[in-house]
């Protein structure tokens, strides 16, 4: 199963959700890969502990190779890095990724990522793609290559306005390029149970018929701590409430996928 975690809005929890769901998947003995397409490299850093600039083999090489006709290609398997955790690998991002964007676009390389993901899906049970906060070549490539899309929502009124636009953009990608893509759901993140406004926003989403997933993720300082320690929550604090919510969310997605 190939999942993209996407929202054009920055800071809504894309990287946190992609990495923590991936870590839970790996902890349940599923072979799991995180593909980081965001030049900020937050997921790559979170999962490897390495500064992104120090990573030699990255998804940059994959896209650069897509632009060259050379027999000396590095297979993707050599670009994928192990993490300190069993069953969890990452194809890291690179800060210069955007320098390739115009060339990739003009030379119609939008399907290259899909080809690669489909090959990797033969080796991995679950692939999670982290995306930049933009609908650009890389996030569109990922929407073309994925089976399911998760949309983090940070309970903010501006995010609510942007959701319709976002769902329309995803629907357009589905119609034009990837009929297999489905929106798996909106992941409510940074939920503060005591605060009224977020509750009302989520209720409004549900009443308006948006596909809100039933498991909500609470706001906790432990998330930031987990990033700082480069340790996903399932390894850092397996018994914490937020970790439990991530486990419930992963299990919900897994069961939903099986019953289709
Ligand atoms: N449930 C949560 N509770 C508390 N803090 C959170 C939670 N989820 C995410 N955060 C924090 O919010 C910030 C943004 O999260 P994250 O980097 O995952 O978002 P993003 O959508 O990937 O951002 P960007 O668009 O910049 O890539 C981080 O500092 C992260 O630690
Ligand atoms: Mg991110």
Structure tokens at 131: 């995306």
C-alpha of residue 86 to centroid of ligand 1, in Å: 24
**What pLDDT is recorded for position 194?**
85
Q: Domain 2-258 sits in which CATH superfamily?
A: P-loop containing nucleotide triphosphate hydrolases (3.40.50.300)
Extract the residue ranges of the chain whose pLDDT is less than 70: 260
| Residue 113: how many other CB atoms lie within 10 Å | 26
Q: What span, in angstroms and rounded, lies between the C-alpha atoms of 86 and 30?
A: 9
In SS3 terms, the chain reads as CEEEECCCCCCCCHHHHHHHHHHHHHHCCCCEEEEECCCCCHHHHHHHCCCHHHCCCCHHHHHHHHCCCCCCCCCHHHHCEECCCCCEEEECCCCCHHHHHHHHHHCCCCCHHHHHHHHHCCCCCEEEEECCCCCCHHHHHHHHHCCEEEEEECCCHHHHHHHHHHHHHHHHHHHHCCCCCEEEEEEECCECCCCHHHHHHHHHHHHCCCCECCCCCECCHHHHHHHHCCCCHHHHCCCCHHHHHHHHHHHHHHHHHHCC
Place of tokens 């926003």: 201
Residue 26 to residues 83, 160, 259: CA-CA distances in angstroms?
Answer: 11, 32, 21
C-alpha of residue 91 to centroid of ligand 2, in Å: 15
**What pLDDT is recorded for position 69?**
82
Q: What span, in angstroms and rounded, lies between the C-alpha atoms of 105 and 107?
A: 5
The neighbouring-strand residues paired with 183 are: 149
Contact 36, 59 (CB under 8 A): yes
Q: Kindly report, residue by residue over 169-196, the tens digit of the pLDDT.
A: 999 999 999 999 999 999 999 998 788 9
Mention every residue, 6+ apart, whose C-beta is less than 8 A from residue 208.
Answer: none
Return the sign of the alpha-carbon dihedral for residues 228, 233, 234, 236.
Answer: positive
C-alpha of residue 36 to centroid of ligand 2, in Å: 9
**What pLDDT is recorded for position 73?**
82
Q: Which atom of ligand 1 is nearest to the CA of 19?
A: 18
**What pLDDT is recorded for position 260?**
64
**What pLDDT is recorded for position 87?**
98
Ligand 1 pocket by Cβ (under 6 Å): 10-16, 38, 40, 42, 133, 189-190, 217, 219-220, 223-224, 227
């Amino acid at each position: 199963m190939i999942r993209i975690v996407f929202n054009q809005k920055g800071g809504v929890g894309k990287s946190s959700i992609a990495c923590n769901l991936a870590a839970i998947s790996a902890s349940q003995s599923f072979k799991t890969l995180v593909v980081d397409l965001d030049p900020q490299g937050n997921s790559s850093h979170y999962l490897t502990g390495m500064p992104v600039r120090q990573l030699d083999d990255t998804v940059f090489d994959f896209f650069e190779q897509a632009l060259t006709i050379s027999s000396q290609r590095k297979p993707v398997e050599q670009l994928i890095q192990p993490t300190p955790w069993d069953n969890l690998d990452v194809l890291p991002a690179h800060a210069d990724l955007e320098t390739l964007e115009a060339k990739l676009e003009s030379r119609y390389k939008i399907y290259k990522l899909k080809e690669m993901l489909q090959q990797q899906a033969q080796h991995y049970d679950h692939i999670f793609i982290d995306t930049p906060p933009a609908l650009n070549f890389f996030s569109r490539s990922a929407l073309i290559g994925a089976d399911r899309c998760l949309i983090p929502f940070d309970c903010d009124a501006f995010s609510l306005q942007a959701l319709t636009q976002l769902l329309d953009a995803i629907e357009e990608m589905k119609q034009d390029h990837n009929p297999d893509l489905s929106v798996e759901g909106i992941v409510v993140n940074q939920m503060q149970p005591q605060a009224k406004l977020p509750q009302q926003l989520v209720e409004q989403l549900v009443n308006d018929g948006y596909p809100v997933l039933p498991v909500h993720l609470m706001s906790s300082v432990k998330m930031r701590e987990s990033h700082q320690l480069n340790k996903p929550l399932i390894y850092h604090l397996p018994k914490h409430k937020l970790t439990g919510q991530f486990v419930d969310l992963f299990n919900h997605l897994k069961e939903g996928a099986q019953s289709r």
